[in-house]
Every structure is written in C-alpha cells, then in structure tokens.
Amino acid sequence: MSRDPQRHPAELSREELVRYGRHLILPEMGIEGQRRLKASSALVVGAGGLGSPLALYLAAAGVGRLGIVDFDYVDESNLQRQILHGSARVGTSKVESARERLADLNPHIAIEPHDARLTRDNALAILSGYDVVVDGTDNFATRYLVNDACVLLGKTNVHGSIFRFEGQVSVFDAARGPCYRCLYPEPPPAGLVPSCAEGGVLGVLPGVIGALQGVETLKVLLGIGEPLIGRLLLFDALSLSFRELELRKDPECPLCGAHPTIRELVDYEALCGFEPDAELAGGDEIDARELGALRQKDPDLQLIDVRTAHEWAIARIEGSRLIPLGTLPERMDELDPSRPVVLLCHRGIRSARALEFLRSAGFTRLRHLRGGIEAWSRDVDPQVPRY
Ligand SMILES: [Zn+2]
C-alpha cells in the first residue's frame, strides 16, 4: 500500500542534505518537501523514450520509491532517444538496465523493477502500490489500460505521448478533472495511426515531453503549483511552439462520468484492434476531399456529427449538426431519410456504428467520413483543431 507522505515524512541523512541542496533552498520545497518526496512513490510505465528522462529525473530528484514496468530488451535502435540505456546494455532487459543506471545515479532511493508486460490481470496490483502513475507507453492498448486502472484505483495519471515532431502532456485525475477517455472516447482504428517504429520520432522529442511529465509528477507529489489537470499541452518541435487546450470532464464518460458503464478492466487488445466490418469499409465510406467536393454541389446533404458535445466544443466542421451517438435513437426523426446523410466522428469508428444503426432503421442514403474530423483537418481544413 502507498504511504501517506505527509504523515510519515522520512528523515534525510547528511549525504542527502548535501545531494539535494539546490532543492532545499527552494522555499516551495525546503527540507519538508524533500522529505515528502523521499516518503513518496511513483510508477513509470515504460522504460523507453519518455520513461528515460522521467526515470532519470525522478530518481535524481529523490522520489523515495520508483517502480519501472517494461517487458522489453534494450535494442540498438532504441539508443537514438532512450538515454536511460547504453550500448553496453544492448540485449539485456530494459528494467534491469534501468535499475543499474538509476541505482548509480541515486543510491538513496529504492528502485523496483517490474519485468512484465502490463496487462488487465496485473495492472491493478502493480499500480496500487504507488502514489502516482506516469504513462510513458507507446501504444493505445496500454494507454487505455493505464487510464482505466488509474481511474478505478483513484490514482493520478501523468500522461505523455509523442509522434514524429509532436507531443502532448496532461495530468488526468478523475476526482478533479477529465480522464483520457473523456478526451479520446475511442481508440483510433487499428493501423490508422502508425507507431513511432513506423512513423519515426525525433530523438530529443521524448526528452522534452518526458521532462515535462517529470515536472508534473514532482508537483503532484509535492502538492505545489498548478498541475495540468483539465488542460492538454501540445508541443510542436518544428515550429517550436506550445499550445494549450482546455479539457472538460465528459459527464457521459463511460469510465469517470456520472453513470459509468466500465467498472473493471476490459480487453484492451480487442478494444484497440477494432476495425469496421469489411463491407462497411468499402462503399459506405467517403473520404475527406470527396466530402469537401460533395458539399459544394449538394445543398441537400445532411452532415451529422455523432461525437460528444465536449468534443464538439474543441473542433467542428462548419455546417455540420451535432447528434451524439448515444442520442441518435431518440433523435433520428430529426433527419430526412429522403436526403443524403454523411455521418462523422473523431476518427471514423462511432460514425460506422451510427451508420449501421441508421441503416437498420431504414435509412438508405448513408455514408460516413473515413478518418473522421481528424482526416478533415488533415486533408481539407487545417483550421479545424486536431485533438
Ligand atoms: Zn473520463
């Protein structure tokens, strides 16, 4: 069980007073703050690109107990960005490589390696032992798993993700703000979003994003400053710019909303592997450019957005109408079945479901936007924000 850092402040040795001197002279921190860090614990999920700066800085800062979960081995192709590991460790397990490096960096803390793949069977047991969870994973299945486990356990989840030249950071704490599912109710279709292995990543990018996660983790553990709760920070390395989006808790969130339907961990491989039926993938889809052209010449077109009101507030296509998927059964009589309908959502999953539903209700002139509003922003109107 996690200890309450406030009730059991740890004593600092002479060596620690010397080591943490630059912390101790910060009025916001002082000896009390440093003792609080020593009595606290954090779990870093993934000892890769994000996990590298995270684990190094959290260890160096004196977080008393640092857990690292990873099942992988150090590969030569990791070293372009995973600065926690070195050439001499190629072929050894990442958590073992991490343990050695971190123990050398700071012998005053406990490193707890979890040499395992995080799954629905072990996630609750592993995460429950730490005060805060830091998500440094590189895939959607684990990201949803970490989010769900954190909400079910009431833990704060310091989120970060990267792709090519862009990254994002937020702090999800369902008691005080939204969770990852409030922001992304559905994973992208399998194969649509390439991994860093397929799409590439600038080596220093996880350094920037992982360091920001480290900042947020220390703030959460110390209870100082304003954490990124309810805010999504977006970083673009090419333009060297930061953008911030306000995130609201989705009252309809199936996990942290008023009437949750997810009460235990689910099958994340299946969740993220979902692909629309083969028959749907063909003639029922319209791509973004095709839709752009069609809107010019067909004034009868009904463009229906089936996302949530929360997502609609972030980004919308001018002239579209919002009918969230959950309300479609009671509101479908607002649609004219004699006129063509194009359905859209974030990435094309919910719109496929909406299409199936309307078809079963007798609608025939139906299509849905392949890749959703994400594709529209990418291919037609870059002014529409992506999230
Ligand atoms: Zn939520």
Choose the catalytic residue: 150, 256, 272, 345.
345
Quote the ligand 1 centre to 175 CA distance (angstroms): 10
Predicted pLDDT at 31: 96
Q: Is 345 a catalytic residue?
A: yes
Quote the ligand 1 centre to 181 CA distance (angstroms): 5
Predicted pLDDT at 275: 44
Q: Is 179 a catalytic residue?
A: no
Quote the ligand 1 centre to 123 CA distance (angstroms): 18
Quote the ligand 1 centre to 383 CA distance (angstroms): 27
Quote the ligand 1 centre to 220 CA distance (angstroms): 19
- CA 387 – CA 183 distance, rounded (Å): 8
Sign, CA torsion 173/179/180/183: negative
Q: Which residue has the tokens 């040795």?
A: 13
Q: Which two tokens stand for residue 303?
A: 């463009």
In this predicted structure, the answer to whether residue 315 has a pLDDT above a threshold of 80 is yes
pTM of the model: 0.75
Q: Which two tokens stand for residue 136?
A: 């440094």
Angle at 190 between CA 346 and CA 210, to 5 degrees: 80
Q: Sorting pLDDT into bands at 50, 70 and 90, what band is 15?
A: very high
Per-position DSSP letters for 107-134, written without gaps between them: TTSEEEEEES---TTTHHHHHTTSSEEE
User: Residue 268, Cβ neighbours under 10 Å: how many?
Assistant: 22
Average pLDDT over residues 306-314: 89
pLDDT tens digit sequence for 192-207: 566 666 678 899 999 9
Quote the ligand 1 centre to 343 CA distance (angstroms): 24
* Coil/strand/helix, residue 93: strand
Quote the ligand 1 centre to 170 CA distance (angstroms): 13
Percent of the chain's residues with pLDDT above 70: 92
pLDDT tens digit sequence for 249-299: 999 899 999 999 999 999 888 787 644 443 444 578 999 999 999 998 888
Quote the ligand 1 centre to 260 CA distance (angstroms): 9
- Write down how long the chain is: 387
Quote the ligand 1 centre to 172 CA distance (angstroms): 9
Q: Which two tokens stand for residue 320?
A: 């579209």
Quote the ligand 1 centre to 158 CA distance (angstroms): 14
- CA 16 – CA 262 distance, rounded (Å): 44
Quote the mean pLDDT of the chain. Answer: 91
Predicted pLDDT at 190: 61
Choose the catalytic residue: 196, 253, 256, 272.
196
In this predicted structure, the answer to whether residue 208 has a pLDDT above a threshold of 80 is yes
166 CB contacts (<8 Å, ≥6 apart)? Answer: 205, 234, 235, 236, 237
CA torsion, points 307, 308, 310, 315, in degrees to nearest 10? Answer: 20
